[in-house]
Every structure is written in C-alpha cells, then in structure tokens.
Amino acid sequence: MTYLWQHYAAEPDYQHKVALRNEQGELFSWQQLSEKINTVAQAFSQQGVNIGEGIALCGKNSFALLLAYLAGIQLGARVLGINPAFPEEKIVQLCENADVHFYYDPKGEKILQNCTALVVSVTASQAKKNCTAAYDLNRPATMTLTSGSTGNPKAVVHSLQGHLDNAQGVCELMAFGAENTWLLSLPLYHVSGQGIVWRWLHAGARLHLPNENFYSAAAEVSHLSLVPTQLQRFLTYLQQRSEQTDHTQHILLGGSHIPLALTQQAAQYRLTCYSGYGMTEMASTVCAKKSDQYRGVGLPLKGRELALIEGEICLRGAGLGLGYWQQGEILPLVQQDGWLHTKDLGEWQNDELCVLGRLDNMFISGGENIQPEEIERVILHYPKVKQVVILPVEDMEFGQRPVAMVEFIDEFSQSAVENLRIWLASRLEKFKQPIHYFPLDVAQCQQQGTIKISRNALKMALKELLGK
C-alpha cells in the first residue's frame, strides 16, 4: 500500500489528471503533486523529521502549507496545525504540550523565542530519494486542536484510517467523485479544513486553493464547505454577478446554527446545501442531510453511531480519533460506557437529530434552565437580524439573566432594538427575553482567526461593556 497521492501518481488513468490548482492558478497533475510532496519530505527528513516526531505547521492556507501537511504525513510524523493568529507565547506552549520538536512557517514570519521546536525549511533538500515511511493506516498522523471552550485546547490525534472513514461518508452523501472539485475554503489547522483534504484524496478528485477573490474561486468549483456567514457573503456575491455560476454547487454547512431562510435563499441560485454536525474528535462531519424546511442535521453518516444519553449527544464509530495527546501518551476519547460524550444537547425530531446547544452554555435564571441557543434560534427568525449571541449576566434577584449581542442587517440602533423587543414579546417567555442588547462585533469575537464565534471572547467584551 502507498499514500493516496503516490497511488494516483502511479496509476496510468490518474497520473496526468489535474489534481490541484494552487492560489496562483497553476495546475498540477497527481504525478507532479507527488513529486513536490516528496521534495518537501526530503527537506524535512534531512532536518530530522522522522516517524513519530511532531511537526507544527503554522500558517494560513497555501500550497506550501498543504505540501508540508502531506509531506509530514508521508514521513510518518505527527502533524499539528496551529492558527497563525495565536500569540507567540501560546504557540510555544502548544508545541511543548504536544511534544512537537519541529516547527514550519511557510512564510517564515514568526521567529519563536524560548521554543524547543527546531524551525525547519524546505530549502535544504539535496538528494533525490523517496522519503516515505511505511504505510500504516492506524499510526498517529495528525493532531488537531479543539476549539478550546475552556481556554485550554486539547490536541486530538487521528490516524489516516479515521480521516478516510470520515471522508467516505461525506463523499457518498454529497456525490463527490473523481470528476468533481472542492475548494479548500476552511483552514487546515481546523478539522473542517482537513476534512476537505481527505475527501479530495479519498475520491481522487480535484482541489482548488482560493485566490485573492475568495468568492470568485467559490463559484468555480462543484463542492464547498462554508460556515453560514460565508454562505451569506457568497450569496451577496452571486446577486451582484450578471451571469449565473457554471457549476451545480453543493455546499456543506456547519460550525453554527444554520438559518432556514439562508438555505432557502441559496436554493434560488440552484445551490444544494447540506446541514451538518461534526466534531474535531470525529474527524469532521458526523451527521448531515440536504437542507430542507426542518432545522435538524439528519442522521449519522456511514459508519457513525449516535446515542442520546440523558439528552447528551454521544458518538462512536467511523472517524473517531485515537485519543487526546497528553505528555507523550494518547488518552482515550471514550468514557467507560464506550461512547464519546460530546457535551452537546440533542433530541430526535422528525426522525432526525436536532442539536439544541452546549451543556456548558446553559445557565439558570430564577430556577429555570436557559439554553442560549434556543433564544438565538428565535431571534434569528427576525428578518433584520444577521447574527446574535446570548450570554448570561449576574443578577441579584434571579441569579443570571440573558443579554443579547446582536448584529443587525442595518446599523445597530435603539430603534432597531426596540422593534426587536416588540417582535420578541409574543414569541419568547418573559424570563427568556434579553434584558440588555449590545452590538455584536464579529471581528472582535473572531480575533484569533477562528471560524466560529468565540463565546469566551464575547463574555470578556460584555464584562467591559457592563463595567465589571
């Protein structure tokens, strides 16, 4: 057995097919791509990157970063993606926590001080040998940081088998095959970005890297992965175009609540949306379906198992990671009952899973349990609201009360807030109605380059607004 890019490079039917288009628009066949990966693997190998070693890749999506990701895997290393927006001190700490001894920044922009990881480059390659570790589907291949809702992200270890098992189910659902193209639209340091890579490799398809005009690149592929805010911007882009897109688009949505109005608007542009639910620990998408009038996320895809245990979504099966990396050991993800307990709340509606929210987001107000996501879903039906996040604030009488941080389609104003209050009065119980409204600064709550809104960042901002 060989790595998939090597397999396609050796297959007469595939070796000269276009495998990838980089951000400059250059095309590469599977054979050319495999050679480039091997060149990077040689450079890394000469600098000491070998089987079992950890290598951190820190950068925004680029052809160079993708080559490094695949080259590290080809060498049998543990590849850790790091968000380049993280401060230097945090990057150093993450490398130490994950036992990473090598560090690669494609642009060479970060010079790490007090870091034990050796900075490696791709300019050191001399010999023309094949640098490939023995193919092992079950060896630790990638380390992906969780979103770290507690402020302390864990590194989830995945094998090639886990990534490929996850990819198979998504490819089957979305009819993604060798003649299709997926855009690398989400960051490689995030599991959803890696999911795109493994679907491309599983199908032997074509991968595009976005150019400077992201939404122009999005219109040129058959398949996309987007978070809802990206879909909204893509629809705005399509509205401004005189001609329609040439491709039948398939768009996998996830990362946050998916408004029905948004997927219905997308259907007007002949875009087929899929509502999905996934986790880092499961190598990306777990459940997904073609978006319809119901707000659920469908059923588990091929090989995945799901159970609701006291309302908590519990998972196992295809894509489940090997464990969390901790001090050189891989600790199991599952509890004694054999299930991964996600801390997500769910219920079955219309024979499909509905995700209600996070257990750790719930708060109590006057003895009543409040799930912020429930209030957010109601507010998002108000036609003039673009995004909203509900947070708790301390209250002498009730313990905690809900506060809304809102991004309106138009400017934030007291009249906009008052109109929203009036609209909500008949749609939410009084104890669930927000007592204050503040502008939602999306840039502020995504300052670390995340693809999800950070509730922790918003809580800090709210404290400042309230003077606490």
Tell me if 345 sits within 8 A of 312, measured CB to CB: yes
Tens of pLDDT, residues 16-65: 999 999 999 999 999 999 999 999 999 999 999 999 999 999 999 999 99
Phi and psi at residue 346, to the nearest 5°: -150, 170
Tell me if 129 sits within 8 A of 146, measured CB to CB: no
Closest CA to 387 of 447, 449, 438: 438
CA 81 vs. chain centroid, Å, equals 12
Task: Classify 350 as helix, strand or coil.
Answer: coil
Regions in the chain scoring below 50 on pLDDT? 149-150, 447-449
Closest CA to 245 of 275, 272, 210: 272
Both ends of the chain: CA-CA distance in Å?
60
Class of domain 4-135: alpha beta
Output the furthest CA–CA distance in the chain (Å, rounded): 73
CA distances from 395 to 26, 115, 364, 434, 455 (A): 59, 44, 11, 13, 19
Closest CA to 385 of 263, 259, 276: 259
Report pTM: 0.86
Residue 458 has a pLDDT of 84
Determine the residue type at 132: T
Tens of pLDDT, residues 221-265: 999 999 888 898 899 999 888 666 566 789 999 876 777 888 889
Residue 376 has a pLDDT of 92
Domain spans in the chain, listed from the N-terminal domain onward: 4-135, 181-359, 362-466
CATH 3.40.50.720 is the classification of domain 362-466: no
Phi and psi at residue 181, to the nearest 5°: -135, 135
Residue 360 has a pLDDT of 85
Return d(Cα 157, Cα 328) in angstroms, integer. Answer: 12
Side-chain half-sphere CA neighbours of 229 within 13 A: 16
Tell me whether the CATH fold assigned to 181-359 matches the one assigned to 362-466.
Answer: no
Q: Domain 181-359 carries which CATH code?
A: 3.40.50.12780
Phi and psi at residue 394, to the nearest 5°: -65, 145
H-state helical runs in 294-393: 372-379
Return d(Cα 172, Cα 162) in angstroms, integer. Answer: 16
H-state helical runs in 221-337: 228-240, 260-267
Residue the block writes with tokens 């032997």: 204
Q: Which residues of 305-316 are buried (b: 16+ CB within 10 A; e: fewer)?
A: ebeeeeeebbbb
What six digits make up the tokens of 25?
Answer: 């628009």
